[in-house]
Amino acid sequence: GKPWLQHALCDHFYVSLPYPLGPKLELFAGAGLHLHYFWLMPITPAEKQYRHEHGAEALEQRFDEVGVEFANPYRASVV
């Protein structure tokens, strides 16, 4: 619970599949390898609590509804 950038509102990270970018970024298969990529998304304390209460799918749906700026650690909470 500490911002990774000074004065950032997002002080937690959410680990998930890069769902908005689709399976082309999520999966890699080649050279005998099969990999799944995950990303770290900065989230606010309220978003963390919302995820614990309502689940990951509900939080991701909320992100989609508002068109969240995924990489902006200074953005306001979407919940």
Asked if residues 11 and 3 have their Cβ atoms less than 8 Å apart, the reply is yes
DSSP, res 33? E
Q: Which amino acid is at 25?
A: L
- pLDDT value at 24 more than 80: no
Over the stretch 29-38, which tens digit does the pLDDT of each residue have? 888 888 888 8
Asked if residues 38 and 16 have their Cβ atoms less than 8 Å apart, the reply is yes
Tell me if the pTM is above 0.75: yes
Asked if residues 60 and 16 have their Cβ atoms less than 8 Å apart, the reply is yes
DSSP, res 73? T
Asked if residues 63 and 39 have their Cβ atoms less than 8 Å apart, the reply is no
